[in-house]
Amino acid sequence: MSPATARILRLLMELRRMGVSDSRTLAALERVPREQFVADPFLDQAFENTALPIGCGQTISQPLVVALMTQALEVGERMKVLEVGTGSGYQSAVLAQLCRRLYSIERHKPLLAQAETRFRRLRLHNITARLGDGSRGWPEQAPFDRIMVTCAAPDIPPTLVDQLKPDGIMVLPLGDVGGIDQELVRITKTPDGIDIHPFLPVRFVPLVEGLPEE
């Protein structure tokens, strides 16, 4: 067994102990080489259960958060998924293992370019990514079976709820954009509105409208 294989298996065992029980989620995490999404100065921490900086004031989430968000989203193999916040592309790559088509939006041009390079290198041909304001969703491709938001919003974005299919699920961090009081929530769209289920305290960067100045 190679050192890299041993490290990923050790990480997966840790995630199982911490509540990740879905076999498809764990298999997706095992297939995605996290070290290819981590900046060179942090390669020695690629298999640790920790968040790491990726530039532009953003982070690659800790594997536990990626796993629990993915598990809560309940992605089926024929589903069309929207991701708001491509970042390093790690969460995108995990979702791409599970769905038919992933659409991902990133507001930082350098991060988007790096992520798309990684997708090509890993031959993840079912991901379409673009530069844009994630708070507006992707109306041309709506509705979506599932939506994942990887940045914190103070309130549930109604535009994104509108782009969910009936019985669709959205997972996002909700709460104080300063990161002090945030919680991951699972939202299910019902005929009567939405059901909201909080499931994990977290700390994410904020969901920001518009694009950064060059």
Residues marked active site are found at 61
Cis peptide upstream of residue 212 (ω within 30 degrees of 0): no
Q: What is the rounded CA–CA span in Å between residue 150 and residue 168?
A: 17
Q: Can you list the alpha helix ranges (DSSP code H) found in 135-189?
A: 158-162
Q: Which two tokens stand for residue 138?
A: 């992707």
**How many CA atoms does the CB half-sphere of 144 hold within 13 Å?**
32
Cis peptide upstream of residue 143 (ω within 30 degrees of 0): yes
207 secondary structure, DSSP code: P
Backbone angles phi, psi at 7, to 5 degrees: -70, -40
The amino acid occupying position 109 is K
CB 139 within 8 A of CB 211: no
CB 87 within 8 A of CB 69: no
Helices (H) and strands (E) in the chain, counts: 6, 9
Q: Beta strands 182-190 and 193-202: pairing type? A: antiparallel
Q: Can you list the alpha helix ranges (DSSP code H) found in 138-195?
A: 158-162
